[in-house]
Amino acid sequence: MHRRHFLQSSLAAALAAQGVFPRRAMAVNSLEAGGARLDMVSDGNLVLPFDSALEQLPADLLAELRDRYDLTGDEMTPPCNHTLLRDGERTVLFDVGAGFDFMPSAGMLPDTLDDMGVAPEDITHLVITHAHPDHIWGLLDDFGDVFLPNAQIIMGRAEWDYWTDPDTIDTIGAERQSFAVGAARRLDRIAEQVTLIEDGAEVVPGVLAVSSPGHTPGHMSYQVQLGGQGVLVTGDAIGNGHVAFERPDFPSSADQDQPTGVASRKALLDRITADDLLVAGFHVHDGGLGRVEKLADDGYRFISEV
């Protein structure tokens, strides 16, 4: 048995003994246009303490959001929705998941792709939004080998420079030091496959890089064109599926540079609504693919395409 399957089977058995049955990873929803197909595919979900995830919200707004979105309990379980683009010539994956050693509820992307008939060797391009664990720790499989051996790996230059800088571990803060160590080790292993890009670059035909820093110093979003429909893959620049839309001006504790994160989030939402783009959101509920409606109070509403 492959080590990843052994670990997941052992975890599933332990959880079942406690009466807990983890959700099966899956392809969530799809869009076909212009001879291409875009799928939102699951890597599982994160499990975060509710208060820490939304700790900066005023109590009245927090209570309102709990009621409106039926957010109960002491934990949040944001989904991890990856975008897979296939056009007949290229198979493009946006971010590569948490891998086997970040969080037990995540790391399911290899199984999801396998269920879809997509082998790691089939991925021609891996496009990275940023280098946090749930987005790139899957670069290496559970044997420490490169997971996508044939992929050209595309990443923003500023993001690459930040996570490969030896000084980052001393400046990022104690709570994120493990992020820096994990990113540096993985990026070193795949360096020969990497192409570094700048804002506005066409990374593959029909996919443009859109700089969106703040969550991390070099965070990059990507605008995908499928026929007459554009889709903006936002990574974590629009990070929380509720607050980020309703209150984009509200600082997020998940962003390293909170004022810059606010500016990027507002710019992306303006772009989405002005150009009638769909949004492909990494941690956005209901499949992550949908439209965005601008509200009268300068907020926005996500409308799922599921």
Q: Is the pLDDT of residue 148 over 60?
A: yes
pLDDT at site 11: 41
pLDDT at site 242: 81
Per-residue model confidence as pLDDT tens digits over 97-123: 999 999 999 999 999 999 999 999 999
Q: Which CATH superfamily is domain 23-304 in?
A: Ribonuclease Z/Hydroxyacylglutathione hydrolase-like (3.60.15.10)
Per-residue model confidence as pLDDT tens digits over 186-199: 999 999 999 999 99
Mean of the per-residue pLDDT values of the chain? 89
- Give the start-to-end residue ranges of the domains of the chain: 23-304
Q: Both tokens of residue 267? A: 């710019």
What is the mean predicted confidence (pLDDT) over 29-48? 93
C-alpha 98/C-alpha 45 separation (Å) is: 10
Q: Is the dihedral of CA 205, 211, 212, 218 positive or negative?
A: positive
pLDDT at site 59: 83
What is the mean predicted confidence (pLDDT) over 88-100? 97
Highest-confidence range of 42-51, 58-67, 131-140, by mean pLDDT? 131-140
pLDDT at site 28: 62
pLDDT band (50, 70, 90) for residue 72: confident
Quote the percentage of the chain above a pLDDT of 70. 90
What is the mean predicted confidence (pLDDT) over 36-54? 88
Per-residue model confidence as pLDDT tens digits over 162-171: 999 999 999 9
Strand-pair partners of 223: 208, 232
pLDDT at site 223: 98
Phi-psi domain of 8 (left: phi exceeds 0; alpha: psi -120 through 50; beta: other): alpha
Per-residue model confidence as pLDDT tens digits over 248-279: 999 998 999 999 999 999 999 999 999 999 99
pTM: 0.90
Q: Is the pLDDT of residue 141 over 60?
A: yes
Q: Is the pLDDT of residue 15 over 90?
A: no
pLDDT at site 51: 73
Strand-pair partners of 211: 220
Chain-centre distance of CA 25, in angstroms? 15
What is the mean predicted confidence (pLDDT) over 203-231? 97
Angle at 157 between CA 154 and CA 126, to 5 degrees: 10
pLDDT at site 9: 43
Q: Is the pLDDT of residue 4 over 50?
A: no
What is the mean predicted confidence (pLDDT) over 120-147? 97
